[in-house]
């Protein structure tokens, strides 16, 4: 049930993001006096619509995006004489650039707001010094589960209980779970004193730390101490000022990762193709489509035993924030039919007009979009091919967290 909720949450968030993206185009176009004739969510057959003033708002059958129709966006559509003065191409280059960039800008706003909600309202899960669970045994391997022949865990044998707060380990005060883990792992086979706080009282206990062989960072194996306890996760919220800083920092990290991902896109496509026809699992850091992202959202919602529901919600919001930031950058690539492609055309027209003025020549006017359509079609075909590859991989070999 929670997995389904996670998938639906991502789908709804995606549609809302599309609406906000298009609203950015719509609002700025209206602000500059351009005529907006349609504002639709989805493509294909019209399911419902209503006209308010000069704009028709509605929903179409295929929920794969949305669009705002601004009169005079390209040469490929006729402009009625009465709309000529309000056509997109009549506006100054700066205004056209603002309208074209507004959609991607709204994705950046969405990403920032979601990060702010995660850090400042929901909080992030942190390990505490409170015992969350006590293992009944010491497994023979790090990934193994308890069997009938496994010895009882030191924590269980000593009487440590869930809810106990670690106060000290062999006389050393405990200030964090990470510190406690380091102390425990460094004392294999030793008999130590542990003080826990239980029901407001400090309880001294004597524990013989178990010794187990685990893989060392340098290779081979090494003996480490095990107690058989896990931490209780707590949600840590930042104050408003710190949350703003964390949101900006998180946004910057995601944007850097997005640029790096786009730069290595050809390599990632090849790797995805090879993975699809091999026994290798999908790389969680590789390319993922909308279907895969929705599936990941479902996995995050499912979470694990003891993982707070609020933390799962935060993970889903982080996924949606990252997706929005990626789309915001991707949409600004200077390729038609993306907004960045149209923005590049506006920039080219502006530079060409400036050079003509400098040379005392007449303004060469607008770029003939008909000449650019073969390039736009080629890019569109590449996008369709990439989409088919991603959907196939997401269905046949989904990413497992």
Q: Which residues are catalytic?
A: 22
Closest CA to 13 of 275, 355, 296, 233: 296
- Listed as own residue / partner, the contacts of 133-136 with beta carbons closer than 8 Å and 24 or more positions apart are 133/162, 133/229, 133/230, 133/306, 134/160, 134/161, 134/162, 134/228, 134/229, 135/228, 135/229, 135/230, 136/228
- DSSP-based helix, strand, coil % in the chain, nearest 5: 50, 20, 25
Q: How far apart are CA 384 and CA 13, in angstroms?
A: 23
CA angle 387, 270, 18 (to 5 degrees): 25
Report CA torsion sign: 120, 126, 130, 134: positive
Contacts of 15 (CB under 8 A, 6+ apart): 41, 63
């Amino acid at each position: 049930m929670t997995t389904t909720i996670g998938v639906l949450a991502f789908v709804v968030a995606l549609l809302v993001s599309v609406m906000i993206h298009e609203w950015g185009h719509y609002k700025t176009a209206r602000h500059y006096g351009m005529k907006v004739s349609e504002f639709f969510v989805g493509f294909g057959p019209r399911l419902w619509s209503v006209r308010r003033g000069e704009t028709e708002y509605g929903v179409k059958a295929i929920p794969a995006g949305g669009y705002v129709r601004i009169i005079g966006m390209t040469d490929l559509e006729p402009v009625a004489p009465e709309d000529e003065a309000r056509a997109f191409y009549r506006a100054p280059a700066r205004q056209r650039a603002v309208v074209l960039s507004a959609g991607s800008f709204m994705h950046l706003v969405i990403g920032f707001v979601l990060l702010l909600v995660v850090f400042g309202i929901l909080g992030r899960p942190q390990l505490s010094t409170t015992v969350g669970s006590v293992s009944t045994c010491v497994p023979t391997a790090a990934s193994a589960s308890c069997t009938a022949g496994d010895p009882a865990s030191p924590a269980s044998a000593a009487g440590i209980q869930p809810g106990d707060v670690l106060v000290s380990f062999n006389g050393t005060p405990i200030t964090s779970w990470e510190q406690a883990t380091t102390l425990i792992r460094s004392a294999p086979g030793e008999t130590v004193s542990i003080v826990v706080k239980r029901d407001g009282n400090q309880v001294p206990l004597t524990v013989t730390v178990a010794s187990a062989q685990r893989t060392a960072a340098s290779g081979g194996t090494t003996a480490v101490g095990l107690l058989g306890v896990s931490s209780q996760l707590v949600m840590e919220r930042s104050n408003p000022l710190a949350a703003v800083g964390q949101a900006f920092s998180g946004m910057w990290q995601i944007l850097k990762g997005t640029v790096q991902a786009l730069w290595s896109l050809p390599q990632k496509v090849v790797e995805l193709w090879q993975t699809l026809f091999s026994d290798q699992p999908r790389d969680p850091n590789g390319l993922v489509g909308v279907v895969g992202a929705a599936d990941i959202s479902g996995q995050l919602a499912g979470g694990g035993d003891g993982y707070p529901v609020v933390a799962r919600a935060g993970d889903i919001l982080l996924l949606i924030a990252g997706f929005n930031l990626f789309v915001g950058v991707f949409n600004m690539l200077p390729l038609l039919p993306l907004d960045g492609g149209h923005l590049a055309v506006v920039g080219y027209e502006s530079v060409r007009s400036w050079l003509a003025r400098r040379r005392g020549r007449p303004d060469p006017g607008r770029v003939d979009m008909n000449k650019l359509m073969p390039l736009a079609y080629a890019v569109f075909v590449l996008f369709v091919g990439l989409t088919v590859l991603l959907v196939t991989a997401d269905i046949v070999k989904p990413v497992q967290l």
